[in-house]
């Protein structure tokens, strides 16, 4: 089908190794790959476990209530890719999942002025519908923040 | 295992003109640089039996092309894809091949229209890059496509943890721009930078403004490696390869999932073990400086400053002439030129040969130099040279 609205930014490319992550995102859920041997999470997903090398991997659905903390972030005042010229400044963070801080997920922080972003800030995951059949996980300040 | 131990030397260095718009091809630039390196060494094109180069995204000419038009007939040509730390990697390969008896004299070059041709982090097809970059699907959709953004993520966390400030980054820039004023061939010669101007310059992407980023230019560099035995017959004063860490890796190819670690942390101990020296023995440095913060992080990794103290180390003038570790004395990639590290190697060789003796550009009586390469937080190499 044709796209109802023109989305200029890169749409996440589904690959052999990562498609369960993006398929879950399209349903507004977070799924993480996990090692069946050492039980560690694998993010981004890959062909085997980067910790122990095991090729035995599985997927865990963490649902839609996902909280995290800003581990680091940058604010870009210039667009480096198409579409971002409409969204300046762009805040990009690597956020540590509260349930598994070793897992860092990169996304924009939306719904928050750039100058208010700081390391340690609590976030929750939200999903933006970018095309009729694709959704992009994003971070937004969690409501419980004082 | 290769034992470097001064068995090989760099005997020739050369570069092309550098500009924002060469009006010519990387092949022409490479020929200029190679001929200048041969002249510097007092060698003929026919003396080269190995030629190697590195490039990114097909921005160079091949070693075979260069050999053809140089009038050289090498028995070994190698073209690798790579940016920073490729110089160190190829020098290590050359030494291994020379030690194995396969080759005698190797020319290594980097040629690029880095300003007028395509530029790193700009003008790529986003879908193509998502596929090429490890884990690209997890980065590009969020607008992260430039090394300034990738490395900035590491810098922001490091600055937060250590108290390193924007002004500390500025001292790196001010120090290197000061060196460039003594180098008529530096692109920013005649354009000094003071802290007030630096701090008043808006950021492109935090924590970096334009001065924190290298100057992308059109230019080629070349250097020649041969055995210590052959080196004695060359025109130039040999600069010996004392030790190397060819190219070490971050624990994950998708390196921005772990922003507290950089590959330089792993290269450093291997380097000092290989050379049998300590950081305090080093007189002069060429520190990879695609961005200002990268210099601070490497000063920590390579043991010149404790964690969190690199900013003050630079603020105290230690990278300037007369400081503890005069670094990037031609201006570095921040203000001289940018060939993914090779121009810094050329300057280090000239310092160790005492080419500038009698001028204010010479690091007096320097004997030992370190050169660090940084492809990113993901890949790093380094070497120690002596005269
Ligand atoms: Zn495992």
C-beta atoms of B259 and A71 within 8 A: yes
- Catalytic annotation, pick one of B4, B109, B288, B302: B288
Domains contained in chain B, number: 1
With tokens 């959709």, the residue in question is: B141
What is the pLDDT at residue B279?
A: 98
What is the pLDDT at residue B118?
A: 64
Mean pLDDT on B205-213: 98
What is the pLDDT at residue A144?
A: 54
Helix (H) or strand (E) holding B382: strand B379-386
Q: Are strands B239-249 and B8-15 parallel, antiparallel or unpaired?
A: antiparallel
Convert the pLDDT of each residue in B30-55 to its tens digit: 999 999 999 999 999 999 999 999 99
B354 within 8 A of B362, measured Cβ to Cβ: yes
A47's CB contacts (< 8 A; 6+ apart) are A16, A17, A55
Query: Which chain A residue's Cα is nearest to B133?
Result: A13
Question: What percent of chain B is modeled with pLDDT above 90?
Answer: 91
B181 pLDDT higher than 60: yes
User: B274 lies in a domain?
Assistant: no
User: B43 lies in a domain?
Assistant: yes
Helix (H) or strand (E) holding A131: strand A122-131
DSSP B38-92: HHHHT--GGG--EEEEEESTT-S--HHHHHHHHT---SEEEEEE--TTHHHHHHH
* Distance from residue A41's CA to the centre of ligand 1 (Å): 8
What is the pLDDT at residue B131?
A: 79
- Cβ-based contacts under 8 A for chains A and B: 110
Tokens of A64: 């839609």
What is the pLDDT at residue B75?
A: 97
What is the pLDDT at residue A3?
A: 45
What is the pLDDT at residue B122?
A: 55
- Catalytic annotation, pick one of B198, B240, B302, B338: B338
**Closest CA–CA distance from residue B52 to any residue of chain A (Å):** 32
Q: Where along chain A do its domains lie? A: 14-63, 65-146
- The enclosing domain of B47 has a CATH number of 3.40.47.10
What is the pLDDT at residue B129?
A: 77
Characterise A11 by phi-psi region: left (phi > 0), alpha (psi -120 to 50), beta (else).
beta
* B171 pLDDT tier (thresholds 50, 70, 90): very high
B214 pLDDT higher than 70: yes
* CA nearest to B108, candidates B139, B154, B131, B77: B77
C-beta atoms of B149 and A92 within 8 A: yes
What is the pLDDT at residue B6?
A: 84
Mean pLDDT on B90-119: 94
Burial B210-219 (b: 16+ CB within 10 A, else e): ebbbbbbbbb
What is the pLDDT at residue B14?
A: 98
Convert the pLDDT of each residue in B151-163 to its tens digit: 999 999 999 999 9
Backbone angles phi, psi at B142, to 5 degrees: -100, 5
B288 is catalytic: yes
Interface of A with B in 89-108 (CB under 8 A): 90, 92, 94, 103-108
Best B121, B122, B141, B261 member to test A by mutation, with max A CBs in 10 Å, is B141
Question: What parts of chain A have a pLDDT lower than 50?
Answer: 1-3, 145-146
Query: Which chain B residue's Cα is nearest to A103?
Result: B257
Burial status of residue A118 (CB atoms within 10 A of its CB: 0-12, 13-18, 19 or more): exposed
d(CA A45, CA A20): 9
Residues in A closer than 8 angstroms to B139, CB to CB, are 106
What is the pLDDT at residue B135?
A: 85
d(CA A145, CA B298): 37
B287 pLDDT higher than 90: yes
* Distance from residue A44's CA to the centre of ligand 1 (Å): 14
User: B56 lies in a domain?
Assistant: yes
Mean pLDDT on B272-300: 98
d(CA B54, CA A100): 40
* B5 pLDDT tier (thresholds 50, 70, 90): confident
CB atoms within 10 A of CB B100: 9
| Residue with more model confidence, B130 or B294 | B294
* B185 pLDDT tier (thresholds 50, 70, 90): very high
ipTM score of the complex? 0.95
DSSP B102-164: S-SEEEEEEEEETTTS--TTSS--HHHHHHHSTTGGGTGGGT--SHHHHHHHHHHHHHHHH--
User: B294 lies in a domain?
Assistant: no
d(CA B222, CA B346): 8
d(CA B287, CA B384): 12
Query: How are strands ordered across the β-sheet holding B8-15?
Result: B76-81, B50-55, B105-113, B218-227, B8-15, B239-249, B379-386, B368-374, B284-287
Mean pLDDT of all residues in chain B?
95
C-beta atoms of A104 and B204 within 8 A: no
C-beta atoms of B143 and A76 within 8 A: yes
B151's CB contacts (< 8 A; 6+ apart) are B290, B291, B293, B294, B376, B377
State the first-to-last Cα distance of chain B, in angstroms, to the nearest integer: 24
Best B130, B132, B143, B203 member to test A by mutation, with max A CBs in 10 Å, is B143
Residues of the domain holding B91: 8-118+217-231
Interface of A with B in 12-51 (CB under 8 A): 12-15, 18, 22, 43-44, 50
C-beta atoms of B160 and A72 within 8 A: yes
* B4 pLDDT tier (thresholds 50, 70, 90): confident
A64 within 8 A of A30, measured Cβ to Cβ: yes
Q: What is the CA radius of gyration of chain B?
A: 19
B164 pLDDT higher than 90: yes
With tokens 């052999």, the residue in question is: A16
With tokens 């005042």, the residue in question is: A77
C-beta atoms of A106 and B205 within 8 A: no
User: B41 lies in a domain?
Assistant: yes
C-beta atoms of B136 and A13 within 8 A: yes
Question: What percent of chain B is modeled with pLDDT above 70?
Answer: 97
User: B200 lies in a domain?
Assistant: no
With tokens 């860490």, the residue in question is: B245
What is the pLDDT at residue A6?
A: 86
Helix (H) or strand (E) holding A129: strand A122-131
**Closest CA–CA distance from residue B50 to any residue of chain A (Å):** 37
B117 pLDDT higher than 90: no
Task: Return the SS3 of B282.
Answer: coil
C-beta atoms of B206 and A76 within 8 A: yes
A64 touches chain B (CB under 8 A): no
Backbone angles phi, psi at B116, to 5 degrees: -85, -20
């Amino acid at each position: 089908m044709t796209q109802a609205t023109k989305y200029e930014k890169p749409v996440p490319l589904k690959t052999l190794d990562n498609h369960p992550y993006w398929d879950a995102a399209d349903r507004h859920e977070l799924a993480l790959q996990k090692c069946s041997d050492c039980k560690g999470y694998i993010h981004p997903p890959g062909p085997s476990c980067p910790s122990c090398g095991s090729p035995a991997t599985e997927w865990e659905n963490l649902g839609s209530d996902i909280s995290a903390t800003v581990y680091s972030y940058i604010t870009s005042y210039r667009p480096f890719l198409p579409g971002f010229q409409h969204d300046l400044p762009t805040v990009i963070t690597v956020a540590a999942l509260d349930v598994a801080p070793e897992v860092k997920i990169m996304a924009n922080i939306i719904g928050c002025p750039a100058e208010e972003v700081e390391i340690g800030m609590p976030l929750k995951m939200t999903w933006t519908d970018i095309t009729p059949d694709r959704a992009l996980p994003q971070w937004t300040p969690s409501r419980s923040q004082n | 295992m290769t034992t470097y131990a001064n068995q090989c030397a760099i005997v020739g260095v050369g570069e092309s003109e550098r500009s924002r718009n060469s009006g010519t091809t990387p092949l022409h630039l490479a020929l200029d640089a190679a001929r200048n390196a041969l002249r510097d060494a007092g060698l003929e094109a026919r003396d080269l039996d190995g030629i190697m180069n590195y490039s990114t995204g097909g921005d160079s000419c091949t070693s075979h092309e260069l050999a053809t038009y140089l009038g050289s007939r090498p028995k070994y040509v190698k073209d690798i894809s790579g940016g920073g730390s490729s110089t160190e990697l190829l020098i290590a390969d050359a030494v291994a091949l020379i030690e194995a008896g396969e080759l005698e004299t190797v020319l290594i070059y980097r040629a690029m229209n880095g300003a007028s041709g395509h530029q790193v982090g700009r003008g790529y097809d986003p879908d193509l890059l998502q596929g090429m970059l490890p884990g690209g699907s997890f980065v590009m959709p969020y607008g992260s496509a430039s090394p300034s953004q990738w490395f900035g993520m590491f810098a922001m966390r490091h600055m937060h943890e250590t108290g390193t400030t924007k002004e500390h980054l500025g001292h790196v820039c001010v120090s290197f721009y000061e060196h460039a004023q003594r180098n008529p061939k530096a692109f920013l010669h005649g354009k000094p930078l003071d802290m007030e101007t630096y701090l008043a310059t808006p950021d492109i992407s935090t924590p970096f403004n334009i001065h924190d980023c290298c100057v992308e230019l059109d230019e080629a560099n070349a250097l020649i490696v041969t055995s210590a035995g052959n080196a004695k017959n060359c025109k130039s004063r040999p600069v010996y390869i004392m030790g190397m860490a060819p190219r070490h890796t971050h624990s994950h190819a998708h390196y921005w999932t772990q922003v507290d670690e950089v590959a330089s942390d792993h290269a450093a101990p291997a380097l000092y073990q290989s050379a049998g020296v300590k950081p305090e023995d080093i007189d002069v440095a060429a520190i990879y400086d695609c961005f200002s913060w990268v210099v601070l992080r490497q000063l920590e990794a390579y043991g010149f400053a404790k964690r969190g103290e690199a900013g003050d180390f630079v603020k105290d003038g230690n990278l300037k002439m007369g400081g503890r570790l005069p670094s990037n004395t031609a201006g570095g990639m921040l203000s001289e030129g940018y060939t993914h590290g090779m121009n810094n190697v050329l300057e280090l060789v000239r310092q160790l040969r005492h080419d500038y003796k009698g001028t204010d550009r010479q690091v007096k009586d320097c004997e030992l130099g370190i050169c660090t390469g940084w492809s990113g937080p993901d890949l790093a190499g380094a070497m120690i040279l002596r005269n």
